[in-house]
């Protein structure tokens, strides 16, 4: 079970997250590509930091929404989605190549990610864009109860999938993340977060907020390192999963 984290989300003089502290603790870095966060300087810095710790790098594309941090849904045609994926993955890919590194996967961010999971047409547009850019790239999407259908659709486009789960978020009976607007949507207790991480790693699923068991076979856990509490949780997850420090 690999740990991934959204990184490189600072912008100009504005600093977000604690990339230097969390990078040594993860396996995969989802690097912002400039549309919801980041800039060329931050992208270069993040690629070099990931390389120094042997961390796999993935592109984290989003809608063009710096003001809303990519969390606002925006209508796009399939051709527009294709273009914005190419634009952002291409930018990170160029920086990686210049540093002797490579982009290994794509993980859409925020509203693009949400829309992709709600609308098969958006997911197909993303799959086609990833395949057409580089068929060796893997697409990371959230693990839901529809994971079998999602794998079948990805196979039609020849795109490998990695399914992602969250140790610090509650799930509903459909295997979707509970809205942050609802009470109990985000776990804050380290013991709860670690227990959920172990449930995904050892049992291939988790119980919903209503108590129903969900089969959610995840390949990677998304973690966060924005503050001392979240960093402590990542360290506890690593220890619980038997990962070396």
Residue 108: closest CA among 126, 93, 120, 94:
126
Number of domains in the chain: 1
The reply to whether 192 falls in a domain is yes
**Residue 154 resides in a domain:** yes
Predicted TM-score (pTM) of the model is 0.95
Domain annotation covers residue 245: no
Report the alpha-carbon distance of residue 232 to residue 210 in Å, rounded.
27
Kindly report, residue by residue over 114-165, the tens digit of the pLDDT.
999 999 999 999 999 999 999 999 999 999 999 999 999 999 999 999 999 9
pLDDT at 84 over 70: yes
| Residue 168's CATH number | 3.20.20.370
Which pLDDT tens digit goes with each residue over 107-122?
999 999 999 999 999 9
What domain range includes position 183?
2-240
Residue 174 maps to a domain:
yes
């Amino acid at each position: 079970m690999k740990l991934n984290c959204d990184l490189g989300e600072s912008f100009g003089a504005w600093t977000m997250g604690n990339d230097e502290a969390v990078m040594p603790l993860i396996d995969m870095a989802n690097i912002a590509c400039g549309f919801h966060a980041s800039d060329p300087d931050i992208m270069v810095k993040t690629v070099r930091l990931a390389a120094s710790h042997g961390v796999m790098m993935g592109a984290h594309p989003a809608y063009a929404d710096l003001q809303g941090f990519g969390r606002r849904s925006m209508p796009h045609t399939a051709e527009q989605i294709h273009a914005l994926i190419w634009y952002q993955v291409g930018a990170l890919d160029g920086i990686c190549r210049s540093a002797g590194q490579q982009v290994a996967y794509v993980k859409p961010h925020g509203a693009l990610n949400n829309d992709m999971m709600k609308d098969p047409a958006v997911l197909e547009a993303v799959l086609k864009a990833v395949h057409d850019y580089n068929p060796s790239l893997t697409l990371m999407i959230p693990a839901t109860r529809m994971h079998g259908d999602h794998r079948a659709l990805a196979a039609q486009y020849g795109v490998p999938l990695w399914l992602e789960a969250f140790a610090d978020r509650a799930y509903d009976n459909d295997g979707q993340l509970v809205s942050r607007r609802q009470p109990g949507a985000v776990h804050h207790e380290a013991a709860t977060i670690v227990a959920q991480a172990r449930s995904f790693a050892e049992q291939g699923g988790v119980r919903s907020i209503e108590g129903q068991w969900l089969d959610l076979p995840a390949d990677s856990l998304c973690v966060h390192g924005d503050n001392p509490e979240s960093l402590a949780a990542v360290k506890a997850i690593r220890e619980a999963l038997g990962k070396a420090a």
